[in-house]
Amino acid sequence: MSATFPRFGIWALVHGSRAALQDPDEPYDASWARNRALVLEAERLGYDSVLVAQHTINPHDGERDQLEAWTASAALAALTSRIEIIAAIKPYLYHPVVLAKMAQQIEHISGGRFAVNLVNAWNRPELERAGIGFDDHDARYAYGREWITVVDSLLRGERTTFDGQHFHVDDYVLRPADPFRARPRIYVGGESEPARQLVADKGDVWFINGQPLDDVKRLIADVSARARPTHPVPLAPLNFGLSAFVISRETDEAAGRHLSHLFELATKDASVRQRQQANTDPKAVMFQTFAQTPRVGSNGGTAAGLVGSHDTVAQRIAAFHRAGIELFMLQFQPFEADMRTFAEEVIPRVRALLAR
């Protein structure tokens, strides 16, 4: 059962605008300065989390700017006081011992507000051009399973020995241990069968990509029915997060006009999207799902249906929450202005609906 009220988070703008890259009302800007200001304002407005996606090169256009996730997350941890900092990680880019130590340090900097989001990569050039290689879909998840097993143990302050196909760790322990909790929270993304089993076995929160309510209900039912491990450490019941692009206006008609405007702007990015599609692993379920529904925004975007009047959007969020979504990870465009509107107009409505 989900908590009384949901949590709300935002996507950091690590590679600029989420819906359309050529928007005169939101010039492309993935700078540290913008993201710093964005996250500080989100915290002030009452948002609970920020997700900092990890890319070493921009997945849309390699010539455009790209914020680095882990250095930015460490800085955000020092600058903020309440908001949860979630840093995404692609296991092939960092050895688990090194990454666990970095995560442990950011946990200390934040005072116990840090989280790791495990993603198993879909953008081929990022790994291939670095000489790392890009394994088959299921092989990447097998690698990620070993990787997170080592990281989990080290984050718990355990003396860790692991002998697997990919990693061999001998009597390793990290200090100082986490003084705030057992370890930072672990989020897991992906909707394939290996991803579902991985989050059931290792995760605390499953990030679901934006899609209609009935589809989300089926995903939650599937993963909720899977047994959670009790050894070596019992895991708490799994929570669920949803990515969504929000367009909330005074009326449904006004929201629909803005959606049409973003669709029109997005047509200017056709060549960029074609390059992205060519670089994407065709076995990634996320992109198979996206192809079924016209949308704007990443990770499902407007496919979740959070487009409409403030009342309409609040009602749909309440329905998702009643179905089990505990955290809504949100995108907007124009981001700063619509983030403020959502905090002022929608969040109070959601709480009023759920308090009845």
Q: How far is CA 16 from the centre of its chain?
A: 15
CA gap 245, 11 in Å, rounded: 10
User: Which pTM value belongs to this model?
Assistant: 0.94
Amino acid, res. 158: E
In a domain, 159, yes or no: yes
Q: How far is CA 24 from the centre of its chain?
A: 27
| Contact status, residue 57 vs residue 66, Cβ threshold 8 Å | yes
Q: Which of 87, 112, 110, 90 is nearest to 12 (CA)?
A: 87
Tokens 């996507």 locate to 11
Instruction: Look at the chain and report how many structural domains it folds into.
Output: 1
Backbone CA torsion sign across 343, 348, 353, 355 = positive
Which tokens is 250 given? 């005074």
| Contact status, residue 255 vs residue 307, Cβ threshold 8 Å | yes
In a domain, 206, yes or no: yes
CA gap 119, 335 in Å, rounded: 24
Q: Report pLDDT for 1.
A: 38
DSSP run (H or E) holding 115:
strand 114-118
Along the 356 residues of the chain, how does pLDDT read in single tens digits? 346 899 999 999 999 898 998 999 999 999 999 999 999 999 999 999 999 999 999 888 888 899 999 999 999 999 999 999 999 999 999 999 999 999 999 999 999 999 999 998 788 888 898 899 899 999 999 999 999 999 999 999 999 999 999 999 999 999 999 999 999 999 999 999 999 999 999 999 999 999 999 999 999 999 999 999 987 788 999 999 999 999 999 999 999 999 999 999 999 988 877 777 777 767 666 555 556 678 999 999 999 999 999 999 999 999 999 999 999 999 999 999 999 999 999 999 999 999 98
Which tokens is 225 given? 């029915």
In a domain, 107, yes or no: yes
Is residue 85 classed as helix, strand or coil in its secondary structure? strand
In a domain, 103, yes or no: yes
In a domain, 129, yes or no: yes
DSSP run (H or E) holding 283:
none
Backbone CA torsion sign across 319, 198, 57, 10 = positive
Tokens 């934040």 locate to 110
In a domain, 345, yes or no: yes
Q: Which of 155, 115, 118 is nearest to 7 (CA)?
A: 115
CATH number at residue 227: 3.20.20.30
Tokens 């669920």 locate to 240
Q: Report pLDDT for 59.
A: 85
In a domain, 1, yes or no: no
Which tokens is 305 given? 């249906």
In a domain, 2, yes or no: no
Residue 344 is part of which domain span? 7-354
The alpha-carbon radius of gyration of the chain (Å, integer) is 19
